[in-house]
Amino acid sequence: MPPASSIPARGPIRSATRPPTIELAAVAAKNAAAERPSRASSKRRSARVSTATPPSRKGGCTTITVTASDARTARRLLTGAGVDSAGRLTVLLGGRGVAPARTNPAVVPLPAGAGRRLPLSYTIAGSGHFRTLQARTQGRRDGSPDEVLGWSNGGADDVYPPLTREQETLRDRVRDFVRAEVQPVAGVYDQRENPEDCWPWELIEKLSEAGLRTITLSQALGGGGIDYPTTAMLVEELAVGDMGVSVIMAQVWKIEQLIEALATHEQKERLLIPFRDDPRGVLAICATEEHAGSDNVLPFNAPGAGSMMRVEEDGSEYVLTGTKRFISNGNRARLYVVAGRTDRERGVGDGTTYFLVPRESSGIVIEHVHNKSGERLVNNAIIRFENVRIPKSNLLGALNDARSDRNYFRRISNVYAAASVLGVAVAALQQATAYARERVQGGKPIIEHQAVQLKLANMAIGIESARALIRRTAESAQHDRDFDFALPSMCKVHATDVAMRAALDAAEIHGGLGLMRDYRGGAGPEKLVRDASVFLHSDGTQDIHRLRVAEKIKAGRPALAE
């Protein structure tokens, strides 16, 4: 069990607190007058609008709080805000106020005038969401009164929250671990010829000592209780040091979360606690088969497609027979989550069940460990299950209900995959920038040449956009019932494209050194290219995920501009 000192003492580390209140602050010119909002607004049923008398201001900031019976009502009531020609700040509630109600995006009326600027900062909290959007609006020179802001008053479609102090502390701990423990040895492990020798037990034990291996377990089970956004952040940070280490832990963390969500109390006590207490405890999920890869992901929901591992009942036991391949952590895990076909007359979605299978079960054979080009610090294996018997009490979730269980898992699986490969892009930008500062050609450091600057800029743009999409999706996965399952696929595709381009650009900036396996202790751009390329296929191919997004669009997914 992780030492008590390594577990956060202030409760689970999660995203910012989300009370059922909406607060709007408009920062106007310091000499702008501020008065009460319209009384009609304050009379809106089931909502209360209040300001200090006189308004409390710091640097010209007036705060208006809208409180409703529940956060969803409050978000619905707040549809816009404006400052009139006299400098009055007005909140529009359900059609009352100085203008008719407006729907997404919010419209902020501004005084006519040549180029008057109004910095605005919105802070919205409620119903499991905390969003901040800062925008500089500007009255058009033609006197047009409205400037449209890309702001939404509901759901997780808004900008993600800033990190909490606890999240920053945890991020810094992981960064220090990466610098001290992972980066010095990543290239050494990567270059070992036998793939099984690339597995970094020493690092896993140190992650256990630091309390990080089980940090996604709830505090009730001795973990850190971190949420999806925090986990995604840590996955990325680990991948800056090595993507293989990141993938090992991403697998462990997401399966911890899956098992804790679906397992019974008895299953947790019998199977999860021993894993927790083992400093070498890792987990694996077994779904992919020789003839069931993309058919599982899209999926092709037909009786003869998808995972076909045979599952038979025999008294108080299930008997599992079949072979799984490409399984991350497959030869190292002490506990497997295995997908078996329990109804062969149905499709993979409603004919598949998950089972908890301990590694020591009789009949499990590690047939082969794949010798991959990249991501070498994580092992992927072919596992054969030869009449493996498990008690019926090892069924995870509900019989023939892998569709709902799978959806729970896929809320976050591709998000963590995206975070892993994004860490490669961050490492590529770091290496390329450092080299460009010291490499002199044409009489100056090559970072002074615009051709190099453009590459670095594209890396940074890609990283920030991918990180924003990952965080938005992780927030939504944590809090939204009506989750958009196109988002995880978008994350995986975009982050992989960004990382692949960044790694190649980093190699090009390094010139000949970008090809050398012994450069930077074996962890230079050449390794980054190999690592990034793995996610062109891992966790579902790029085009399969694009097709998943396309299916959502065909089914009527709203365009982002709507």
Q: Reduce the secondary structure of 27-65 to three states and give it as a string.
A: ECCCCCCCCCCCHHHHCCCCEEEECCCCCCECCCEEEEE
Q: What is the mean pLDDT of residues 377-388?
A: 98
Q: How many other CB atoms sit within 10 Å of the CB of residue 515?
A: 13
Residue 334: φ, ψ to 5°: -95, -10
Confidence of residue 181 (pLDDT cuts 50, 70, 90): very high
Please tell me whether residues 394 and 348 are part of one structural domain.
Answer: yes
The whole-chain average pLDDT of the chain stands at: 77
Confidence of residue 407 (pLDDT cuts 50, 70, 90): confident
| Residues near 286 by beta carbon (within 8 Å), at least 6 away in sequence | 324, 327, 330, 336, 337, 338, 339, 357, 383
Confidence of residue 52 (pLDDT cuts 50, 70, 90): very low
Please tell me whether residues 421 and 545 are part of one structural domain.
Answer: yes
- Residue 84 pLDDT exceeds 80: no
* Of 22 and 365, the one with more pLDDT: 365
Cα atoms in the Cβ-side hemisphere of radius 13 Å centred on 243: 32
Residue 178: give its domain's CATH number: 1.10.540.10
Confidence of residue 528 (pLDDT cuts 50, 70, 90): very high
Q: What is the pTM of this model?
A: 0.74
The per-residue pLDDT for 160 is: 60
Please tell me whether residues 187 and 118 are part of one structural domain.
Answer: no
Please tell me whether residues 481 and 519 are part of one structural domain.
Answer: yes
The per-residue pLDDT for 143 is: 34
Confidence of residue 36 (pLDDT cuts 50, 70, 90): very low
* Of 305 and 549, the one with more pLDDT: 549
Interatomic CA distance for residues 238 and 203, integer angstroms: 11
Last residue of a domain, one of 277, 302, 322: 277
Please tell me whether residues 252 and 297 are part of one structural domain.
Answer: no
Angle at which helices 486-509 and 450-479 cross, to 10°: 160
Element (H, E) at 130: strand 129-138
Domain holding 470, by residue range, is: 411-554
Q: Is 186 inside any structural domain? A: yes
Residue type, 142: D
- Residue 41 pLDDT exceeds 60: no
Q: What is the mean pLDDT of residues 1-26?
A: 42
Interatomic CA distance for residues 293 and 542, integer angstroms: 13
Confidence of residue 523 (pLDDT cuts 50, 70, 90): very high
Please tell me whether residues 127 and 25 are part of one structural domain.
Answer: yes
The residue assigned the tokens 């092709």 is 300
* Of 360 and 122, the one with more pLDDT: 360
Please tell me whether residues 356 and 432 are part of one structural domain.
Answer: no
Parallel, antiparallel, or unpaired: how do β-strands 146-148 and 317-328 relate?
A: unpaired
- Residue 266 pLDDT exceeds 60: yes
Give whole-number Cα distances, 90 to 49, 110, 166, 362, in Å.
11, 11, 35, 70
Q: Is 156 inside any structural domain? A: no
The per-residue pLDDT for 174 is: 98
The per-residue pLDDT for 74 is: 40
- Residue 463 pLDDT exceeds 60: yes
Interatomic CA distance for residues 518 and 108, integer angstroms: 57
Could you tell me which residues are beta bridge partners of residue 96? 93
Confidence of residue 96 (pLDDT cuts 50, 70, 90): very low
Please tell me whether residues 420 and 527 are part of one structural domain.
Answer: yes
The per-residue pLDDT for 89 is: 37
The per-residue pLDDT for 145 is: 28
Q: Is 369 inside any structural domain? A: yes
Most confident of 19-23, 346-350, 542-546: 542-546
Which of 31-40, 105-114, 385-394, 403-412 has the least mean pLDDT?
Answer: 105-114
Q: Is 559 inside any structural domain? A: no
Angle at which helices 525-534 and 413-438 cross, to 10°: 160
Please tell me whether residues 361 and 431 are part of one structural domain.
Answer: no
Which of 40-54, 158-172, 247-261 has the least mean pLDDT?
Answer: 40-54
Please tell me whether residues 213 and 269 are part of one structural domain.
Answer: yes
Which of 55-69, 281-295, 443-457, 537-551 has the least mean pLDDT?
Answer: 55-69
Q: What is the mean pLDDT of residues 373-384?
A: 98
Confidence of residue 561 (pLDDT cuts 50, 70, 90): very low
The per-residue pLDDT for 72 is: 41
Residue 477: give its domain's CATH number: 1.20.140.10
Q: What is the mean pLDDT of residues 104-125?
A: 31
Please tell me whether residues 269 and 289 are part of one structural domain.
Answer: no
Give the model confidence (pLDDT) of 471-481 as tens digits: 999 999 998 87
Q: Is 562 inside any structural domain? A: no
Last residue of a domain, one of 354, 370, 401: 401
Q: Is 251 inside any structural domain? A: yes
Q: What is the mean pLDDT of residues 246-268?
A: 97
Nearest to 520 by CA among 404, 427, 415, 458: 427
Give the model confidence (pLDDT) of 287-301 as tens digits: 988 877 666 766 667
Residues above pLDDT 90, as percent of the chain:
60
Q: Is 561 inside any structural domain? A: no
Residue 291: give its domain's CATH number: 2.40.110.10
Interatomic CA distance for residues 492 and 232, integer angstroms: 12
CB-based contact 307:341 (threshold 8 Å): yes
The per-residue pLDDT for 293 is: 66
Give the model confidence (pLDDT) of 533-544 as tens digits: 999 999 999 999
Parallel, antiparallel, or unpaired: how do β-strands 89-93 and 129-138 relate?
A: unpaired
Number of independent structural domains in the chain:
4
Confidence of residue 91 (pLDDT cuts 50, 70, 90): very low
Element (H, E) at 444: strand 444-445
Last residue of a domain, one of 277, 292, 320: 277
Nearest to 129 by CA among 176, 77, 75: 75
Element (H, E) at 337: strand 335-341
Please tell me whether residues 130 and 171 are part of one structural domain.
Answer: no
Parallel, antiparallel, or unpaired: how do β-strands 352-358 and 395-396 relate?
A: antiparallel
Q: Is 121 inside any structural domain? A: yes
Give the model confidence (pLDDT) of 483-494 as tens digits: 999 999 999 999
Please count the helices (runs of H) and the strands (runs of E) in the chain. Answer: 16, 19
